[in-house]
Chains A and B, each alone.
Chain A
Amino acid sequence: MSDKMHLKMTVNGKQEDLLVEPRELLIYVLREKLNLTGPHVGCETTHCGACTVELNGKSVKSCTVLAAQAQGAEVTTVEGLSTPDDLHVLQKAFREHHGLQCGFCTPGMITRAHRLLQENPNPTEEEVRFGIAGNLCRCTGYQNIVKSILAAAAEMNAAKEAAE
């Protein structure tokens, strides 16, 4: 076994200090060491997006990121989007607009959508479609996923306006 290294990162706002092998992938550290099983393993080759998380403000497919690359980083998974009492607007929208069937793609999809709306708070339908094109869903045909994201964007914008 290769030498282990210390990995320090902030996951969902919590400081973590872990012993990992340099070759370990972020997805397995999250799932197996931190018990964050929201991000799923769908393909392990960067194609399906089931493992999508945020790493320093970027969407990444955590199946092809070495845990070592997350040294000192801020990582957010789907578990970090909600508070114990309240769902994130996007999470509510996916539930209400039926943006899921089997749900296996959902955590990755929501995490990706979360980043998309940070980058582009007011996307057109077309921008949403291309913005999540790296996340596959085999069940829904995407229609309700797009609807959910647009609904969440509208709600977030309305809330922002009301606050201003």
Chain B
Amino acid sequence: MSIAKPLPHDAARLHVTGQARYVDDIPPPRDALHLAFGLSEIAHGKITKLDLGKVRAAPGVVAVLTAADLPGANDVSPSAHDEPLLAEGTVHYVGQPLFLVIAQTHLAARKAARLATVTYDEHPAILTIDEAMAANSRFEDGPRVYEKGDSATAIKDAPNTIEGSMEIGGQEHFYLEGQAALALPLEGDDVLVHSSTQHPTEIQHKVAEALNVPMHAVRVEVRRMGGGFGGKESQGNALAVSCAVAARLTQRPCKMRYDRDDDMIITGKRHDFRITYRAGFDDDGLLRGVEFVHYARCGWAQDLSLPVADRAMLHADNAYHLPHARIESHRLKTNTQSATAFRGFGGPQGMVGIERVMDHIAHHLGYDPVEVRQRNFYTASQQISETTKPQTTPYGQAVDDFVLHEITETLLAQSDYAARRKAVAAWNAQNPVLKKGIAYTPVKFGISFTLTHLNQAGALVHVYQDGSIHLNHGGTEMGQGLFQKVAQVAAASFGVDVEAVKITATDTGKVPNTSATAASSGSDLNGMAVQAACDTIRERIAEHLAQTHQTDPRRVYFENGKVFVGDDEMTFAAAAQSAYQARVSLSTTGFYKTPDLAWDRLKGQGRPFFYFAYGAAVTEVVIDTLTGENRMLRADILHDAGTSLNPALDIGQVEGGFVQGAGWLTTEELIWDAKGRLRTHAPSTYKIPACSDRPDIFNVSLWSEGRNREDTIYRSKAVGEPPFMLGISGFMALSDAVAACGDAYPALDAPATPECVFNAVNRGRTS
């Protein structure tokens, strides 16, 4: 059977030989045109004059479009219709597209886009959280609040209290393949769009609106992305719509890709947050009550900010039972890029808040932070019985699958935590300049889209008469190995080798109305839909063979590329051929919707998640107290992927997620200047982890007891996002190292760059 095997990625052979095609690798049709945006140079103001004379006259330019030239809707927003493709009079951030250049070559388009003379009536820009709060510049009428019990009284009556505040920086996706799209005009008003997107249906929808045609006139195809991480959930809309509009107007194929700097300047990033907290707890560190205020900097347009900020609130508990809690969330509107989805979708920020509280409590009481964390864990699933009810989250969902007690015990033993903690203390006592730190952090991450209707998926499966299988589903491939996993599901269903299954590009013409490949839901949703389709066809073949062999369909088995019917056996191909001859349909669709979800996002009550994914990490670091420079020495991870569909792919997700999460909180720093210009808009200044930054020792394993209690595909668990938050342990280890330099609580902000660490060390020493 093909399930639970570490089979290589389905396209690996194409990748290693350079044959795998991304949008930019599709041989452009002979007369293709290339597009580029002219961008706003100010953060906020009115355009008083847009002189495009020089742009139009530039060599190679075919046409230049402004908002007035668009044939249909001027909107690329995924939600609130507040994001024009091209600015209409007012500009809201540095980098906002003002006009579109259509030219013979990519270079000609980009050069011409720089030649406009724009005069602005500049307005004051709201850039920071403080400015937005002062101006009450926000989405929604006021803050959202989720409450459980009476946190104010619980904190007041507690024997100990702490309070604090931390800044948590945003993050650039830095998908290695930048945003790209290619549109081909077809006959009539039809158009075919190739897009590097996680959300083909939305591209189809936005293109249809922009061209003023029904969705059936637009076909969107996505073979793969060179990384997405959430950055291609909505941010590809502008390119795809531009290409489609330009293709319509010129009747020629049109292609657009952002140069890296443009990509970083134009597109949204992870939301940066400020989180303030107050907590009351007893002398053992057990929480009595906690209050958080989240300030999320959402940028100029709404995009996906509301569900992102919701998810941050939904992860304010992480792995801990909060008896009394209040979480207040401000979604602030600023004159910066519109912050968007990024792996974890707000969850990481929420989680950092409570991990900070745990760390702070432990420091306050002088305990090992692991003990404080374990003491506050939710009740273990094993202990839940008639008399011991599961505890509930601040939003009222029962946590009945909690396995972090066991995962933690195993990880602490495997990583030799207790001995290493002592060794770190001994080292720190000896060494005045280099200080080490070690930290454990857990992850409990809710799986499902919080917008309940998105939890659905479709698939289309054909079996050909030679026994080969063509498979299509609504999910997109961005490197996570979704196609491979889903092919394994199909192969298992028919009892054939995975080579017999061809997974084809995601195509809105094959499977309609798909949800974005996001929220880690790709294999959960699409795997189930594919299985449903395959089971239908298999049952049809079984019924047919049972008839011809005068036996019961239940006595027909599909195994090892063969079909066994009573005492007879034949190849799967022969079975398919026989069914075809008997006029049995060998093609069908499959559909799945996640059961049992009920969520009221305004009240903050219900069951938004089907289940939780778990994991934990122990990380050790060393800092140089004279420079703030630091290194990760060792990381140990134990992660719960349920019954893994493909352990090799899942471990890859865990490793990559951890490194990306640690990068977010340590080296990746976004800096805007006082005029709202992003100053770190290239890899020269924005530092994602390089191979040399990887921990010296890196032990990653999947939890061998893992099995999803819910009925998911082969009892697996989603694994795309959860491991990202394991990176928090690297940040907490830095905090631990800084704590060794003085008595004060380090109160590190993120990212903990060398400067930040250096300053924290000095704060600790002087206080």
Contact = CB atoms under 8 A, between A and B. Distances in A.
B224 interface: yes
A94 B18 contact: no
A111 to B, nearest CB: 9
A37 interface: yes
A133 B690 contact: yes
B682 A78 contact: no
Interface in B727-765: none
B481 interface: yes
Given A103-B479, A139-B479, A98 B648 contact: yes
Contact of B659 (A1, A47, A103, A141): A141
A98 B16 contact: no
A138 B698 contact: no
Given A101-B652, A138-B175, A94 B16 contact: yes
A59 interface: no
B693 to A, nearest CB: 8
Contact of A140 (B16, B259, B260, B655): B655
A134 B615 CA distance: 31
B18 A38 contact: yes
Interface in A1-47: 1, 31, 35-45, 47
B226 interface: yes
Interface residues of B, number: 57
B698 A98 contact: no
A142 B659 contact: yes
B691 A38 contact: no
A136 B688 CA distance: 8
A103 to B, nearest CB: 3
Given A37-B21, A37-B25, A144-B652, A105 B176 contact: yes
Residue among B18, B478, B688, B690 with the most chain A CB within 10 A?
B18
B480 interface: yes
A39 to B, nearest CB: 7
A106 B16 CA distance: 6
Interface in A100-132: 100-107, 110, 128-130, 132
Interface residues of A, number: 56
A158 B368 CA distance: 49
B694 A143 contact: yes
A45 to B, nearest CB: 6
A145 B691 contact: yes
Interface stretch (B5-13, B390-398, B547-555): B5-13
B692 A133 contact: yes
Nearest to B13: A95
Contacts of A41: 24, 178
A146 interface: yes
Contact of B17 (A78, A102, A133, A135): A78
Nearest to B692: A133
A155 interface: no
B694 to A, nearest CB: 5
A137 interface: yes
B227 interface: yes
B177 A141 contact: no
Given A102-B224, A132-B691, A143-B698, A138 B13 contact: no
Interface string A77-101: 1110110000100111011101011
Contacts of B20: 103
A50 interface: yes
- A contact patch SS: loop
B14 to A, nearest CB: 8
A104 B682 contact: no
A48 interface: yes
B196 to A, nearest CB: 10
Interface string B675-699: 0000000111000111110100010
B660 interface: yes
B445 interface: no
B229 interface: yes
A146 B691 contact: yes
A50 to B, nearest CB: 6
Contacts of B178: 41-42
A40 B17 contact: no
B572 interface: no
A132 B690 CA distance: 9
Given A100-B9, A103-B15, A40 B226 contact: yes
B174 interface: yes
B17 A87 contact: yes
Nearest to B655: A141
B27 interface: yes
Interface in A62-88: 77-79, 81-82, 87
B645 to A, nearest CB: 14
B177 A45 contact: no
Residue among B9, B11, B229 with the most chain A CB within 10 A?
B9
A40 B22 CA distance: 9
Nearest to A41: B24
A101 B229 CA distance: 12
A48 B176 CA distance: 8
A139 B17 CA distance: 19
Contacts of A134: 690
B656 interface: yes
A110 B16 contact: yes
A39 B690 contact: no
B425 interface: no
Contacts of A129: 691-692, 694
Contacts of B42: none
A133 B104 CA distance: 37
A98 B8 contact: yes
A39 B225 CA distance: 15
Nearest to A80: B18
A95 B16 contact: yes
B683 A48 contact: yes
B117 interface: no
Nearest to A140: B656
Nearest to B16: A91
Contacts of A132: 691
Contacts of A42: 176-178, 260
Contacts of A103: 9, 11-12, 14-15, 20, 224, 226, 479
B660 A102 contact: no
B618 to A, nearest CB: 16
A47 B688 CA distance: 11
A37 to B, nearest CB: 4
A96 B8 contact: yes
A44 B259 contact: yes
Contact of B684 (A45, A104, A137): A45
B480 A101 contact: yes
Contacts of B652: 98, 101, 139-141, 144
A1 B6 CA distance: 53
A107 B21 CA distance: 12
A90 B12 CA distance: 12
B12 A43 contact: no
B680 to A, nearest CB: 12
Contacts of A78: 16-18
16 contacts: A1-B59, A39-B18, A42-B178, A45-B260, A50-B176, A98-B652, A102-B176, A102-B224, A102-B227, A103-B9, A103-B226, A129-B692, A136-B683, A138-B229, A138-B656, A142-B659
Interface of A: 1, 31, 35-45, 47-48, 50, 77-79, 81-82, 87, 90-92, 94-96, 98, 100-107, 110, 128-130, 132-146
Given A47-B682, A102-B225, 4 more contacts: A45-B260, A79-B17, A129-B692, A137-B176
Interface of B: 6, 8-9, 11-22, 24-25, 27, 59, 173-178, 224-227, 229, 259-260, 478-481, 648-649, 651-652, 655-660, 682-684, 688-692, 694, 698, 700
9 closest Cβ pairs, A-B complex: A38-B18, A102-B479, A104-B226, A103-B15, A101-B479, A141-B659, A47-B683, A141-B655, A91-B16
